Structure 1
Amino acid sequence: MKITIITVGKLKEKYLKDAIAEYTKRLSKSCKLEIIEVADEKTPDQASVLVENGIRRKEGERILKHIKEGAYVITLEINGKLLSSEEFSEKIEQLGIQGKSHIIFVIGGSIGLSEEVLEKSDYALSFSKMTFPHQLMRVILLEQIYRAYRIIEGAPYHK
């Protein structure tokens, strides 16, 4: 299985880079992982709805360039479906059984995803009703993907 994470913005903090490197290493035994960073746009304070829509559209165009035909696209959205770690694991396993060999996860920027990206989504996933920094969300997502594979393999990590 190939897993791609498309994310808006670059990581700056060393501790986040270290965590991502660790989960990337751990996941190398279970899947082919690719992380794609697309440039983010500066959002001015007190930006109007029109300005925010323009920013989402620009970031969305960059994201869409990396969405491959035939891939199963999961967008991270605050109003997406909440799953337990076991349910998330089942979702990944079922996609493999159904012949999906490529899953793309999309993490938007600080103001979310464009309508065009949301329309490409096959599944909207939420990790919480809370909002997390998109840089930290990468680590959380990678940890949950790693946990899902450990559950699939019947390993004790997830307990």
Structure 2
Amino acid sequence: MKVQICAVGRLRTGPEKDLLDDYLTRFERSGRALSLGPCQMLEVEDKKGGGMSAEAELLGSIIPDGAHICALDERGKLMSSPDFAQFISTLRDDGCRDLAFVIGGADGLTPNLRNRANSRLSFGKMVWPHMLARVMLSEQLYRAASILAGSPYHRV
């Protein structure tokens, strides 16, 4: 199952990009034997200043056809790491070919894009910077693959 992280804004060189690249590389190595990955980072920029609706349109254009869309949203479902691993495993086992995680810009996602999502995921009641949310998601993808592989990375 291919994974896409569809996000607003460009992640520039720096510690967040280094962490993102590291966790995505780890995910691809761990996930390969589990039929998970590769994971592709897809970024869009609203250069014309059209706001959330323009961002939603740009995001919609990069989501693969037929993908299971999981919106990262503060109103989404809270999951433990093992629950997240099970969520990914179930999608894969049910024949999902593409899983697209959608991360909005500073103002979040439009209601239309949130409603289009098949599922919603929250990293808690706190609001996180959207650039940091990418890193957190990539780490959880790696952790999920590690859990599914029976690796000791995730300790309970």
Instruction: State the TM-score, normalized to the length of structure 2.
Output: 0.90
Q: Residues 39-82 of structure 1, C-alpha deviation per residue, up to 9 Å, x if partnerless?
A: 04698xxxxxxxxxx61101000000012221100000101000
1:8-157 matches, cutoff 5 A: 8-12=8-12, 14-29=14-29, 30=31, 31-40=37-46, 55-157=51-153
1:82-118 residue CA offsets vs partner (Å, 9 max, x unmatched): 0000000000000011111210000111101012311
Which deviates more, 33-42 or 102-111? 33-42
1:5 and 1:105 mapped to 2: Cα distance? Answer: 5
Provide the aligned length of Structure 1 versus Structure 2.
Answer: 149
Task: Give the C-alpha shift of residue 11 in structure 1.
Answer: 1.5
Partner of 1:50: none
Structure 1 CA distance, aligned partners of 2:151 and 2:12? 33
Q: CA RMSD in A?
A: 1.5
Secondary structure of 2:62's partner?
Answer: coil
* Structure 1 residues without counterparts, runs of 5 or longer: 44-53
Q: Moved runs in structure 1, 4+ residues, more than 6 A? A: none
Q: Which runs of 5+ in 2 are unaligned?
A: 32-36
Q: Distance in 1 between matches of 2:43 and 2:141?
A: 18
Q: 3-state SS of the aligned residue for 1:76?
A: strand
Number of the residue aligned with 1:51? none
Give the TM-score normalised by structure 1.
0.89
Cα distance in 1 for residues equivalent to 2:103 and 2:90 = 22
Structure with bigger gyration radius: 1
Of the structure 1 ranges 119-128 and 12-21, higher mean CA displacement relative to structure 2 is found in 12-21
Q: Could you report, residue by residue, the CA deviation over 1:14-45 in whole angstroms, capped at 9, with x for unpaired residues?
A: 101111111121122212111011104698xx
